[in-house]
Structure 1
Amino acid sequence: MIPELDDGVSRICATYLALADRHAPGLVEGLYLQGSVALGDYRPGVSDIDFVAVTGRQPPAGTVGAIHADLRRSHRRTSFDGLYVGWDDLRRDPAQAAPGPAVHEWRVQPASRFERNLVTWHVLAQAGVAVRGPAAATLGVFTDWPALAEATRRNLVEYWTPWLRGPASGVVGLTPWATAWGALGVVRLRQTLAAGRVTSKTAAVAYALDTYDRRWHRLVNEAARLRLGGARRYRNPWRRRADLIGFLTEVLRG
């Protein structure tokens, strides 16, 4: 078992490494966890496990496919999403890196830009969990806070503002998914900008309750409930959507 990790996370990592070593001995030289595991916000049955595998040579797509096909047979209920990079890739701006192998929802993509971005690199540098290889803090992972902050602000304008005016205001906005995705997604970006580091969804809940007017607390707590469980705050999805739209409007206004 890998220490200091949730048992389920530890088991899937151990299985993955055993499969990688069997299919391609020596290929995976480092395995790091980012995302919710690194940020201390992993929730079994809710969170994905986000990995970065570091290889000393270009991994054949067929080999990557075989590793993850076997892994899925024993851990199909947990998404093990991530990418394959070289050691030097982590020391460079990911925007300049070539596409490479990645796995998303068990689908292997031989040449993808999935998760090859400053958010991943920053989370690794902040708190990456080393399952195999040197501590993440010793890797010299490339970071650029001004560029990440600008990308975060651009995401608010280019993705979330149209999402508010489109899907959130339509039938999609009536779904529980939209409440959790929208409320936590937008406020997490605001908190990231305020904190100067990448933050978690759970931390975003506390930030929202401390930062925004009390009239939005019901909506924020409902978003947290949809992710973590608990008593419902709404019985009327139309009322919930109206509050979602109002809350997003205020957060996006800045």
Structure 2
Amino acid sequence: MSEAFLTSLDGSAPGLAHAAHVVGSAALGDHQPGSDLDLVLELSRAPGPDDLAALAAALTPELDLVCLVGGEPGPWGRDGAFHADATHDVTPVLLHQLNRCSTTLRGPRPRFAVTRDEVERYCRRNLVEYWRPLVELVASVTGPGRRDGVLWVAFGPARQWHTIRTGEVVSKSRAAELAAGHWPDLAGELRDLVAARRGEPVELTSAHREAVVALGSRVLASV
């Protein structure tokens, strides 16, 4: 997927992408069938109209794309939609992932200036501003809840919790394993949720939704 994108881009905008890095689940060994691939491009120049057209043409729905121009936000794409304006954030966690746990397809390894304190502050803010409302939303429903929504909220808070504690970025599945070890009363449901994320035929029940709420609430209380 990423190789095809780069080949297409090189054909229509030679020299635009001087470095390319895979981040997210694929770089962390946790990529699942049907998951998006997260690709970060370091551009060699500010993209002109022809460059933007080439990026848009090469983008596929399976690719989440972030472009950096001199380390600053550039064009981006998600779910097959291309955005020429630099409206995405280049977060400390993204820079930390690029430095520590990305797979470089082209160019030199990333060496972005980011500190552990910056990463920790971002994770704490993200937990409060992004994950807390989602945990509260899952808590407000009855029954098992929507499968995709429960699976999305299941792992995010645990990943932030582990990064705050250790500075390490881990996959969703690994975060669930670590949380299960820390809170063993939730271990059975968390392992079921990991299996469901892998596509196994696990029936999610109210107990799984309640475990997601309990985990999110404990993470928020602990940090």
Interval containing the TM-score (normalised by the shorter chain): 0.7 to 0.9
TM-score for the superposition, normalised by structure 2: 0.87
Q: Does 1:250 align with 2:218?
A: yes
Q: Which has the higher helix share?
A: 1
| Alpha-carbon spacing, 1:242–1:140, altered in 2? closer, same or farther (3 Å) | closer
SS at 2:67 equivalent: strand
174, 190, 210: which one pairs with 2:181?
A: 210
> Which residue is equivalent to 2:133?
162
Query: What is the CA RMSD across the aligned residues, in angstroms?
Result: 2.3
Q: How far does residue 250 in structure 1 lie from its aligned partner after superposition?
A: 2.4
> Which residue is equivalent to 1:64?
52
Q: Is the Cα–Cα contact under 8 Å of residues 33 and 49 in structure 1 kept in the other structure?
A: yes
TM-score for the superposition, normalised by structure 1: 0.78
> Which residue is equivalent to 1:39?
28
| Alpha-carbon spacing, 1:108–1:213, altered in 2? closer, same or farther (3 Å) | same
Letter in 2 for 1:48: D
SS at 1:81 equivalent: strand
Aligned counterparts of 2:118 and 2:37: Cα–Cα separation in 1? 26
> Which residue is equivalent to 1:82?
65
| Alpha-carbon spacing, 1:195–1:243, altered in 2? closer, same or farther (3 Å) | same
| Alpha-carbon spacing, 1:211–1:46, altered in 2? closer, same or farther (3 Å) | farther
Aligned counterparts of 1:31 and 1:25: Cα–Cα separation in 2? 14
Q: How far does residue 38 in structure 1 lie from its aligned partner after superposition?
A: 2.1
Aligned counterparts of 1:32 and 1:153: Cα–Cα separation in 2? 26
> Which residue is equivalent to 1:8?
none
Aligned counterparts of 2:40 and 2:143: Cα–Cα separation in 1? 32
SS at 1:33 equivalent: strand
Q: Is the Cα–Cα contact under 8 Å of residues 209 and 220 in structure 1 kept in the other structure?
A: yes
Q: Does 1:23 align with 2:23?
A: no
| Alpha-carbon spacing, 1:233–1:252, altered in 2? closer, same or farther (3 Å) | farther
Q: Is the Cα–Cα contact under 8 Å of residues 83 and 115 in structure 1 kept in the other structure?
A: no
Aligned counterparts of 2:190 and 2:66: Cα–Cα separation in 1? 32
Q: Is the Cα–Cα contact under 8 Å of residues 31 and 132 in structure 1 kept in the other structure?
A: yes
> Which residue is equivalent to 2:171?
200
Aligned counterparts of 1:163 and 1:13: Cα–Cα separation in 2? 31
Q: Is the Cα–Cα contact under 8 Å of residues 191 and 204 in structure 1 kept in the other structure?
A: yes
> Which residue is equivalent to 2:198?
228
5+ unaligned residues in a row in structure 2: which ranges?
Answer: none
| Alpha-carbon spacing, 1:65–1:167, altered in 2? closer, same or farther (3 Å) | farther
Letter in 2 for 1:15: A
5+ unaligned residues in a row in structure 1: which ranges?
Answer: 1-11, 90-96
CA deviations over 1:73-93 (Å, ceiling 9, x no partner): xxx5xx21122223x31xxxx
| Alpha-carbon spacing, 1:248–1:70, altered in 2? closer, same or farther (3 Å) | closer
Q: How far does residue 62 in structure 1 lie from its aligned partner after superposition?
A: 5.1
Q: Does 1:107 align with 2:107?
A: no
Q: Is the Cα–Cα contact under 8 Å of residues 138 and 150 in structure 2 kept in the other structure?
A: no
**How many pairs align?**
222
> Which residue is equivalent to 1:241?
209
SS at 1:51 equivalent: strand
| Percent of aligned positions that are identical | 26
Q: How far does residue 125 in structure 1 lie from its aligned partner after superposition?
A: 0.3
Letter in 2 for 1:217: A
